[in-house]
Amino acid sequence: MKTPRTQTSNSGLRGEYEGAAADYTVGQDWRAYTPDMHERWRRLYARQSALVERYACRSFRDGLARLDCAGGIPRFEDANKVLGPATGWRLVAVPGFIPDDVFFDHLAHRRFPVTRWLREEHELDYLVEPDVFHDFFGHVPMLLDPAIADFLELYGKAGARAMEMDALEMLARIYWYTIEFGLVREDGGLRVFGAGIISSAAETVYSIDDPKVLRLPFDPVRIMRTGYMIDAFQKTYFVLESLPQLIERLVGLDFGPLYETWRHAPALPAGECLPGETPITFSGASA
């Protein structure tokens, strides 16, 4: 029997790892979301989707429209009916952060782990761990883009070797500076495709419009050497020329020697340019 839940608490969902399977998946338990939670989702959705038209890349805008999730916390099984035929991805529900090796294995098999619980009222603007709004609103639209769909599978497959070589930090920076905080040049301006940006109202505007932010051309080796912050706006963003460029620039790389060379080097500080580097000087969603 299900334990009874109150209307106002989501503690029955948040961080509950006990009932999880060996691969850390759980049921979404969609019926356990309260009317309050659906209402909070609608507010988060309304706030972020108002920014999407101007700030998000085309794939994100198209993907979000196809997911049709403005009305409340979506059912993952409904999204899977869209994702499967489009790119072969499938969402699985998880209780929150899961171990690196498990996360990589899901991605390698085109399963995207989506946290099932929703942030509470006092953390609407910022939280350091993923919740269902970040994971679903931020990541799932991009799973409908073929280049991102392929990249994420490759990233998952690259995980085991990076862990064996004690170079996980280097690989994780690629994910951080692209899938979470990536920008892409589009229609003569800058657009967001990273989930960490597009699920945050303030960082969406800052990443594109603030003229003081350091924006560098996408360079996978530079990224693997660059540290990042998890509890503040980024000081550096990397800009792709196009989404397919992400894979094009990574497939040719021999990661073994790169890991050997840089894995124990101190990280380059975010927000600093190296000699000879040319930052992208314009800002704004149109040039």
User: Given the rule CB under 6 A, which residues bind ligand HBI?
Assistant: 94, 97-98, 100, 103, 113, 115, 130, 168, 172, 175
User: Using an 8 Å Cβ cutoff, are 140 and 86 in contact?
Assistant: no
Our CB check for ligand HBI shows the closer of 168 and 285 to be: 168
197 binds Fe ion (CB under 5 A): no
- Alpha-carbon distance 40 to 17, whole Å? 24
Backbone angles phi, psi at 9, to 5 degrees: -105, 140
- Alpha-carbon distance 62 to 144, whole Å? 9
Smallest distance, ligand HBI to C-beta of residue 286, A: 31
User: By three-state DSSP, how is residue 184 classified?
Assistant: strand
Our CB check for ligand HBI shows the closer of 45 and 112 to be: 112
Our CB check for ligand HBI shows the closer of 36 and 100 to be: 100
Q: Roughly what angle, to the nearest 10 degrees, separates helices 146-164 and 244-251?
A: 30
24: its two tokens: 């850390």
Q: Which residue is nearest to Fe ion (CB)?
A: 195
- State the binding partner of 94 from ligand HBI, Fe ion, none, CB within 5 to 8 A by kind: ligand HBI
User: Using an 8 Å Cβ cutoff, are 40 and 118 in contact?
Assistant: yes
243 binds Fe ion (CB under 5 A): no
Smallest distance, Fe ion to C-beta of residue 179, A: 7
Smallest distance, ligand HBI to C-beta of residue 94, A: 5
Our CB check for ligand HBI shows the closer of 100 and 150 to be: 100
98 binds Fe ion (CB under 5 A): no
Burial (CB count within 10 angstroms: exposed 0-12, middle 13-18, buried 19+), residue 26: middle
Q: Which residue is nearest to ligand HBI (CB)?
A: 103
Radius of gyration (Cα) for the chain, nearest Å?
19
Our CB check for ligand HBI shows the closer of 99 and 266 to be: 99
Our CB check for ligand HBI shows the closer of 98 and 285 to be: 98
DSSP H helical segments within the chain, as ranges?
A: 35-55, 58-67, 76-87, 100-108, 132, 146-164, 168-175, 195-198, 201-209, 220-224, 244-251, 255-262
Contact string (CB under 5 A) for Fe ion, positions 167-196, x = contact: ----------------------------x-
CA angle 246, 247, 249 (to 5 degrees): 75
Our CB check for ligand HBI shows the closer of 23 and 100 to be: 100
Smallest distance, Fe ion to C-beta of residue 175, A: 8
Smallest distance, ligand HBI to C-beta of residue 189, A: 28
Q: Are strands 183-186 and 189-192 parallel, antiparallel or unpaired?
A: antiparallel
What Cα–Cα distance (Å) separates residue 88 from each residue in 18, 107, 149, 275? 29, 12, 8, 43
94 binds Fe ion (CB under 5 A): no
Binding residues with Fe ion: total (CB under 5 A): 1
Tokens 């072969």 -> residue: 88
Smallest distance, ligand HBI to C-beta of residue 210, A: 25
- State the binding partner of 107 from Fe ion, ligand HBI, none, CB within 5 to 8 A by kind: none
| Residue ranges binding Fe ion (CB under 5 A) | 195
